[in-house]
Chains A and B, each alone.
Chain A
Amino acid sequence: MKALVAVKRVVDANVKVRVKADKTGVDLTNVKMSINPFCEIAVEEAVRLKEKGAVTEIVVVSVGPQAAQEQIRSALALGADRGILVQTDDEVGALEVAKILKGIVDQEKPEVILLGKQAIDDDSNQVGQMLAALMGAGQGTFASEVKVEGGKVQVTREVDGGLQTVELALPAIITTDLRLNEPRYAALPNIMKARKKPLDTKSPSDYGVATGTKLKTILVEAPADRKAGVQVKSVDELVEKLRNEAKVI
Chain B
Amino acid sequence: MSILVYAEHDNNSILSATLNTVTAAQKIGGDIHVLVAGQNAQAAADAAAKIAGVSKVLLADNAAYGHQLAENVAKLIADLGKNYSHILAPATTTGKNVLPRVAALLDVSMVSEIIAVDSPDTFKRPIYAGNAIATVKSEEAIKVITVRGTGFDAAAAEGGSAAVEAVGTVEDAGVSSFVGEELAKSDRPELTSAKIVVSGGRGVGSGENYYKILEPLADKLGAALGASRAAVDAGFVPNDLQVGQTGKIVAPSLYLAVGISGAIQHLAGMKDSKVIVAINKDEEAPINAIADYWLVGDLNTVIPELVSKL
A interface with B by C-beta (< 8 Å): 11, 13-14, 16-17, 19, 26, 37-38, 93-95, 98, 120-134, 136-139, 141-142, 154, 157-169, 172, 178-179, 213-223, 226-227, 229-236, 238-239, 241-242, 246, 248-249
Give the Cβ gap from B255 to chain A, nearest Cβ, in Å: 10
> Could you give 9 example pairs across A and B, Cβ below 8 Å?
A94-B100, A129-B98, A161-B190, A167-B179, A178-B242, A178-B247, A215-B111, A229-B292, A234-B295
B153 at the interface (CB under 8 A from A): no
CA distance A131 to B176 in the complex (A): 16
Interface string of B171-206 (1 = CB under 8 A from A): 001111111111110000010110010000000000
Taking a contact as CB atoms closer than 8 A, the residue among A16, A139, A221, A249 that contacts B196 in the complex is A249
Closest to B69 in A: A166
Give the Cβ gap from B302 to chain A, nearest Cβ, in Å: 6
Closest to A226 in B: B290
B109 at the interface (CB under 8 A from A): yes
CA distance A249 to B113 in the complex (A): 28
B276 at the interface (CB under 8 A from A): yes
Among B91-124, those with CB < 8 Å from A are: 92-94, 96-105, 107-113, 122
B84 at the interface (CB under 8 A from A): no
Give chain A residues whose Cβ lies under 8 Å from the Cβ of B179.
Answer: 154, 165-167
Taking a contact as CB atoms closer than 8 A, the residue among B104, B125, B184, B294 that contacts A134 in the complex is B104
Give chain A residues whose Cβ lies under 8 Å from the Cβ of B125.
Answer: 123
CA distance A161 to B188 in the complex (A): 11
Does A236 contact B309, Cβ atoms closer than 8 Å? yes
Does B240 contact A158, Cβ atoms closer than 8 Å? yes
Does A95 contact B104, Cβ atoms closer than 8 Å? yes
Give chain B residues whose Cβ lies under 8 Å from the Cβ of A37.
Answer: 246
Taking a contact as CB atoms closer than 8 A, the residue among B111, B132, B309 that contacts A17 in the complex is B132
Taking a contact as CB atoms closer than 8 A, the residue among B178, B184, B245 that contacts A13 in the complex is B245
Among B261-299, those with CB < 8 Å from A are: 264-265, 271-272, 274-277, 288, 290-296
Closest to B140 in A: A214
Give chain A residues whose Cβ lies under 8 Å from the Cβ of B253.
Answer: 248
Does A242 contact B293, Cβ atoms closer than 8 Å? yes
B300 at the interface (CB under 8 A from A): no
Give the Cβ gap from A109 to chain B, nearest Cβ, in Å: 16
Does B288 contact A248, Cβ atoms closer than 8 Å? no
Does B302 contact A235, Cβ atoms closer than 8 Å? yes
Among B223-239, those with CB < 8 Å from A are: 238-239
Does A214 contact B127, Cβ atoms closer than 8 Å? no
Does A130 contact B104, Cβ atoms closer than 8 Å? yes
Does A160 contact B136, Cβ atoms closer than 8 Å? no
B134 at the interface (CB under 8 A from A): yes
CA distance A129 to B126 in the complex (A): 20
Does A159 contact B294, Cβ atoms closer than 8 Å? no
Does A126 contact B138, Cβ atoms closer than 8 Å? no
CA distance A142 to B248 in the complex (A): 12
Assuming the contacts A126-B103, A179-B239, asked whether A217 and B136 have C-beta atoms less than 8 A apart, the reply is: yes
Does B306 contact A166, Cβ atoms closer than 8 Å? no
Give chain A residues whose Cβ lies under 8 Å from the Cβ of B70.
Answer: 129, 132, 139, 141
Does A164 contact B104, Cβ atoms closer than 8 Å? no
CA distance A123 to B125 in the complex (A): 9
Taking a contact as CB atoms closer than 8 A, the residue among A16, A163, A238 that contacts B182 in the complex is A163
Closest to A20 in B: B132
Q: Which of A16, A134, A137, A139 has the most CB of B within 10 A?
A: A139
B129 at the interface (CB under 8 A from A): yes
Does A125 contact B112, Cβ atoms closer than 8 Å? yes
CA distance A242 to B138 in the complex (A): 41
